[in-house]
Structure 1
Amino acid sequence: MTSPAEIAQHLTNIAKHGHMVTIFSNKGKNFILTKILDVDFKNGVFTVDWGAEEESNNQVLGSERNVFVCSPDGVKTQFVTGALSKVIVDGQPAFAADLPEQVIKLQRREFFRIQTPLGTPVFCHVEDYGQRAIDLALFDISVGGMSLWLPDVSTLGFDIGQQYHKCTLDLKPIGVLQIGIEVRHRLASRLRNDTEAMRIGCSYLNLTPKMETMIQRYVGFLERERRAMFG
């Protein structure tokens, strides 16, 4: 979209619903998670909440080009601004920028997906799996869903369309996520040791803004860890 009025309205809706926004700065080398605070269509500017880490905030302020990415209602939105400035909103620091000239909306539900570390595996505890609970290793995760490994290709259940409503993931150090899942696809794979494995792709049930924020924070944490490891 290129209409200034449409752009302002779209950003206002993102702010109104409290969707998390990722700002990539310094040619993608740095990023912060934040929220849009306010949109001033008359003056052609909008404000964004200050990040949690001061060093990251300073890196954003020093960046001449910044890419904003978010996924309101599962529809990826992306736009670019020039340099951000520091302002004070309700007594607290915030970022300010000119409204973008263009906003790109991808109608397909696309999300940044990241694999979980093999050294410190994360497990999804499915409480309502038949007569007993089961723990499935997490392969990757995004705001749009996650993939899980079945412990054995012959494991019963987890058919496409099947739902489980009592699932728990300990997303250290962010927090514990309690959510429902629906199996969307199954993929047979062959591991390095030549054994067969089954990976299931799941979407979330009743994802709340608080849950979405937790997942985005965890994805951001994993990305920072990955960047620190590989430089």
Structure 2
Amino acid sequence: MTEKDNPALKFELLQSDDFAQYLLRDSVEIEQVLRNLIRRRAMVTAYINGSRDFMLTTVLEVDHGRLLLDMPADTSQQRRAENAEALICITQLDSVKIQFPLAGVDRIEHDGRPALVADIPDRLLRLQRREYFRLTAPVSHSLVCQIPVPGESGPPSTYEARVLDISGGGVAIVVPPEGIEFKPDTEFTSCQIQLPETGTITAKLRIRSVFRVTNRNGISMLRAGCEFVDLSDKVASLIHKYILKVERERSARERGL
């Protein structure tokens, strides 16, 4: 099986510090979530080796540090799953997205039927939709984040960073390759973003991750994932209002209205 969209968009949450606060690492908590999947008979999409190839399965049992998955009926999928170095499992319960990696699986017999077994994952991501939905900055208008940067001597200067995407939890911005230090855990206060026809928000930003990306034109840039710190309800409401507005306009264009 293959999916039309790019699965990398689904996997990036486990690979980025942007959502570190939503990662469970305690084995007891992880097992509790997995047992809930069993009780609710939740369907799990397992991507094979981080590719577009996936299979549908369910969690059968969690015991003694092991997790059992239902074996897919398709024999070719069975072979690919058994030979996989890793599976990325994604499911949802009560509008909460659940995602966890499995470092390889083996074939066993369970209640007289073939099944897949793996070690309990060492991390598991739980995200409510409002926490992980990110709006890509519209082409029709650019978003700019004005970041006050303290000077070594004298008043701070303002750096204008292009916003790549925005959510209620934070923003992704393009940062300069040199001149200004952007590194994880750095905080910038009184940052401003003007949301067209909505209002201007002011917030403190904390850098969660910085990495280099290359766009389709071969141009390389640095991307910083930032989280909002102590965001007020008023500002969060403005961001939500802006996202809904842009999504409604985008939907109307797609329908030809």
In the superposition, the TM-score normalised over structure 2's length comes to 0.47
Q: Determine which structure has the larger helix proportion and give its number.
A: 2
Q: Secondary structure at the match of 2:197?
A: coil
Q: Which is greater in Rg?
A: 2
- Which sections of structure 1, spanning at least 5 residues, go unmatched? 1-73, 75-101
| 1:108 and 2:129 matched | no
**Is 1:121 paired with 2:142?**
yes
Deviation at 1:187, TM superposition (A): 2.4
Q: What is the aligned partner in structure 2 of residue 225 from structure 1?
A: 249
Amino acid at match of 2:133: F
**Amino acid paired to 1:222:** V
CA distance in 2, matches of 1:117, 1:105: 26
Structure 2 counterpart of 1:171: 195
Task: Look up the equivalent residue of 1:111 and give its one-letter code.
Answer: Y
Percent pairwise identity: 24
TM-score, structure 1 as length reference = 0.52
- The question of 1:212 aligning with 2:210 is answered no
Unmatched 5+ stretches in structure 2? 1-21, 23-92, 98-124
Q: Deviations over 1:8-43 (max 9, x none)?
A: xxxxxxxxxxxxxxxxxxxxxxxxxxxxxxxxxxxx
CA distance in 2 between counterparts of 1:218 and 1:206 reads: 19
Matched-pair contact (CA < 8 Å) for 1:128–1:166: no
SS in 2 for 1:125: strand
Name the aligned partner's letter for residue 160 of structure 2.
D
Match of 1:195 in 2: 219
Which has the higher mean CA deviation after the structures are superposed, 138-147 or 121-130? 121-130
Alpha-carbon separation, structure 1, partners of 2:210 and 2:246: 25
Per-residue CA deviation, residues 150-189 of structure 1 (Å, 9 max, x unaligned), is 1x32342121100001101101111010111000011211
1:161 aligns with 2:149: no
Structure 1 pair 104–113 and aligned structure 2 pair: CA distance change class (3 A): closer
